[in-house]
């Protein structure tokens, strides 16, 4: 489902304000796990709610761990979108992780099908997608120079004399904010 949502958003530059309805068809097994939480209660529900996931992808045009923090999933606009704008249903013609997404806008209906999610062996991420994902999750953990150096080192891995250089970059000094949090945590005992 997520892959089909991203495919549509990336291909058509969809404005969430113009979306009337998002319809998602899932296999029965996927629907049973993710299709019954239009009105999620907290973080765990948001994590497994296909309604919330579709709503946040539509509105934020990304899906990271930040979207599963209370400040985001408790947003009344997203709660309303998940409950009212997103429809999930089982489709007996779909199996496993297959999904079909239709996004109805005031300009028509767009459809995408996903047989294999992004990042699977059948639908691998591009180098740019992998680097973007690494940058997202390394930000705040590694310095910008360590992030760039790691990406460069991995890109030239076959010429890297020793993996030690790469490991040293991954252990690079954390950003100032992270170091301050670690010091405060130590001081609190």
Residues 6+ apart with CB under 8 A from 113: 4, 98, 99, 100, 101
Task: Tell me: pLDDT of 136 over 90.
Answer: yes
* Per-residue pLDDT at 62: 94
**Domain layout of the chain by residue ranges:** 2-114, 127-176
CA distances from residue 175 to 12, 64, 83, 136, 170 in whole angstroms, order as listed? 37, 20, 39, 14, 13
* Per-residue pLDDT at 54: 98
Long-range Cβ contacts of 4-7 (<8 Å, 24+ apart): 4/99, 4/100, 4/101, 4/112, 4/113, 4/114, 5/53, 5/54, 5/57, 5/58, 5/101, 5/112, 6/57, 6/63, 6/118, 7/112, 7/114
Least confident among 12-26, 28-42, 125-139, 140-154: 140-154
Top-tier CATH class for 2-114: alpha beta
* Per-residue pLDDT at 160: 85
Task: Note the pLDDT tens digit of each residue in 174-189.
Answer: 655 555 545 544 554 4
Task: Note the pLDDT tens digit of each residue in 141-187.
Answer: 888 888 999 999 999 989 888 888 888 888 866 655 555 545 544 55
Residue % of the chain over a pLDDT of 90: 76
Over residues 23-30, the mean pLDDT reads 98
Long-range Cβ contacts of 123-128 (<8 Å, 24+ apart): 123/3, 127/155
């Amino acid at each position: 489902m997520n892959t089909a949502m991203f495919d549509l958003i990336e291909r058509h530059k969809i404005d969430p304000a113009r979306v009337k309805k998002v319809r998602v068809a899932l296999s029965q097994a996927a629907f049973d796990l993710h299709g019954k939480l239009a009105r999620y209660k907290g973080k765990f529900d948001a994590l497994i709610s296909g309604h919330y996931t579709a709503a946040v992808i539509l509105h934020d045009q990304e899906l990271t761990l930040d979207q599963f923090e209370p400040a985001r999933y408790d947003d009344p606009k997203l709660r309303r979108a998940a409950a009212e704008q997103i429809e999930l249903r089982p489709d007996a013609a779909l199996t496993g992780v297959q999904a079909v997404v239709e996004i109805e806008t005031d300009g028509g209906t767009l459809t995408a099908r996903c047989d294999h999610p992004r990042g699977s062996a059948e639908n691998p991420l591009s180098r740019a997608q992998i680097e973007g994902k690494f940058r997202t999750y390394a930000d705040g953990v590694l310095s910008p120079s360590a992030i760039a150096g790691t990406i460069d080192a991995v890109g030239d891995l076959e010429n890297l004399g020793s993996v030690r250089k790469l490991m040293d970059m991954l252990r690079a000094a954390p950003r100032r904010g992270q170091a301050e949090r670690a010091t405060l945590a130590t001081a609190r005992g």
